């Protein structure tokens, strides 16, 4: 997509807090003498990574193949979403699934259409949804709100569980300290695509606050033409002419993201709400063109982290409580009006069935998904040894 981008406002280094989801004890080589600021400054520049062991350390010392993309690097890219950024990481390729053209992240060639083997985190909180085992609609995160992206290429299941079979991606959003006053920006591009954002930081009564609001919309690319679809096959078999092919894919959308972060001396709170409207269904849920189908999604992610500094026994702790709510509704015409389809005994389309049914108004589907996810993550770190750090974490 060709785009024109205007933004203004200063940028400062990130100081947000990282993930604590380890399920086994981790013995990590320390990069030097421990400092109290190591816990608060969980994320440094591109030379440091936190998701490899759950603790900030130099990338060169990380026991995994890790990459870091910083805010400065993102600003130098002609990128409009996180997938443009991930394409710059060696060993990662982003394609699109046949289901609504969802992004599929391939790490070292490992991928499936739903892509459940790549774990995506936002400020350390998993975005995995149960319905399909993927990221759902939560993956289109505005770049204006992103301070840093950390990537583990290769298995991370020993630390993060089965969802991290191929790799882990942690997206760290911008803290109040990363937003100096007010920042605004606009972006316009082809396919009637545009975006506008506002970021604001402030300080009230010992609490740092940062607010980010971004709106995006696009009518989609009308040049992506499908010459034949699933209905074309049934038309040939049944002698009908119901298919809407040739025709363009349905790729339009509208999205509003609102994010708030509050930082105290020993705690951090995030609230992120995103609303998706008029989301196109790509090639159609049944691989039959559906220009009128659309999805509406509303979701909220909230987390609260409490940290205790090291005591006399060299122990420090971190506790995080998070909640993810997802509410997705859709209205889809799986097969167009006039489709004459073979229907099996279970009521589904079955090409081997001889029971043909004429759908005068089309085969209509309105699937809805509602999920609630609650998590509690706890970690304890011991720094009593001169050259090692012991960390223990649990999640429920």
Residues 6+ apart with CB under 8 A from 109: none
The string of pLDDT tens digits covering residues 289-324 is 999 999 999 999 999 999 998 777 789 899 999 999
How much is the pLDDT for 388?
77
Closest CA to 107 of 115, 82, 99, 255: 115
Confidence of residue 4 (pLDDT cuts 50, 70, 90): very low
Q: Which two tokens stand for residue 45?
A: 């520049």
pLDDT at 18 over 60: no
pLDDT at 124 over 50: yes
pLDDT at 128 over 70: yes
pLDDT at 229 over 90: yes
Length of the chain counted residue by residue? 396
Q: What is the mean pLDDT of residues 349-370?
A: 92
Q: Which residues are paired to 364 by β-bridges?
A: 333
Q: What is the mean pLDDT of residues 274-289?
A: 91
Report the distance separating Cα 30 and Cα 58, nearest Å.
9
- Residue 131, Ramachandran bin (φ over 0: left; ψ between -120 and 50: alpha; else beta): alpha
pLDDT at 349 over 70: yes
C-alpha distances out from residue 36 to 40, 151, 307, 315, Å: 8, 25, 12, 12
Q: H-helix or E-strand containing 72? A: helix 71-76
Residues 6+ apart with CB under 8 A from 133: 114, 116, 163
The string of pLDDT tens digits covering residues 136-156 is 766 567 789 999 999 988 777
How much is the pLDDT for 132?
74
Is 45 in contact with 14 (CB distance < 8 Å)? Answer: no
pLDDT at 28 over 70: no
Report the distance separating Cα 338 and Cα 302, nearest Å.
46
The string of pLDDT tens digits covering residues 42-70 is 444 556 656 555 556 555 555 557 788 98
Mean of all residue pLDDT scores within the chain? 82
Q: What is the mean pLDDT of residues 74-89?
A: 90
Q: Are strands 167-173 and 118-122 parallel, antiparallel or unpaired?
A: parallel
pLDDT at 273 over 50: yes
pTM of the full predicted structure? 0.79
How much is the pLDDT for 289?
95
Confidence of residue 357 (pLDDT cuts 50, 70, 90): very high
In this structure, how many other beta carbons lie within 10 angstroms of the beta carbon of residue 193? 20
How much is the pLDDT for 46?
56
Residues 6+ apart with CB under 8 A from 262: 207, 208, 209, 268, 269
Report the distance separating Cα 308 and Cα 318, nearest Å.
6
Q: What is the mean pLDDT of residues 205-226?
A: 93
Question: 158 — phi, psi (to 5°)?
Answer: -60, -30
- Report, in this order, helix, strand and coil percent for the chain, each rounded to 5: 10, 50, 40
Listed ranges 123-132, 155-164, 186-195; the one with the highest mean pLDDT: 186-195
pLDDT-wise least confident of 10-24, 83-97, 101-115, 217-231: 10-24
């Amino acid at each position: 997509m060709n785009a024109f981008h205007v933004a203004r406002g200063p940028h400062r280094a990130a100081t947000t807090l990282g993930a604590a989801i380890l399920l086994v004890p981790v013995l990590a080589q320390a990069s030097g003498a421990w400092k109290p600021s190591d816990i608060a400054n969980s994320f440094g520049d591109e030379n440091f990574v936190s998701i490899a062991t759950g603790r900030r350390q130099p990338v060169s010392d990380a026991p995994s193949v890790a990459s870091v993309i910083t805010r400065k690097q993102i600003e130098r890219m002609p990128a409009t979403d996180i997938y443009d950024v991930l394409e710059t990481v060696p060993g990662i390729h982003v394609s699109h699934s046949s289901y609504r053209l969802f992004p599929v992240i391939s790490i070292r060639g490992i991928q499936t259409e739903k892509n459940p083997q790549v774990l995506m985190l936002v400020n350390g909180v998993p975005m995995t949804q149960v319905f399909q085992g993927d990221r759902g609609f939560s993956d289109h995160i505005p770049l204006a709100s992103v301070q840093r992206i950390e990537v583990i290429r290769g298995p991370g299941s020993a630390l993060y569980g089965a969802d991290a079979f191929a790799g882990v991606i942690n997206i760290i959003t911008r803290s109040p300290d990363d937003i100096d006053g007010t920042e605004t920006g606009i972006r316009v591009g082809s396919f009637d695509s545009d975006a506008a954002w506002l970021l604001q930081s402030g300080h009230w009564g010992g609490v740092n606050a940062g607010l980010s609001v971004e709106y995006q919309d696009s009518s989609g690319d009308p040049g992506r033409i499908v010459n034949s679809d699933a209905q074309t096959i049934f038309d040939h078999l049944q002698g009908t002419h119901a298919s809407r092919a040739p025709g363009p894919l349905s790729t339009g959308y509208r999205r509003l993201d609102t994010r708030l972060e509050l930082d105290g001396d020993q705690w951090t709170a995030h609230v992120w709400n995103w609303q998706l409207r008029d989301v196109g269904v790509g090639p159609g849920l049944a691989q039959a063109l559906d220009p009128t189908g659309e999805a509406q999604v509303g979701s909220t992610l909230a987390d609260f982290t409490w940290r205790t500094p090291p005591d006399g026994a060299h122990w420090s702790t971190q506790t995080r409580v998070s909640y993810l709510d997802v509410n997705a509704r859709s209205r889809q015409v799986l097969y167009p009006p006039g489709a004459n389809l073979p229907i099996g005994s279970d009521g589904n389309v079955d090409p081997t069935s001889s029971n043909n049914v004429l759908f005068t108004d089309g085969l209509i589907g309105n699937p809805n998904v509602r999920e609630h996810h609650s998590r509690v993550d706890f970690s304890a770190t011991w720094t009593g040894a001169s050259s090692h750090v012991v960390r223990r974490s649990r999640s429920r």
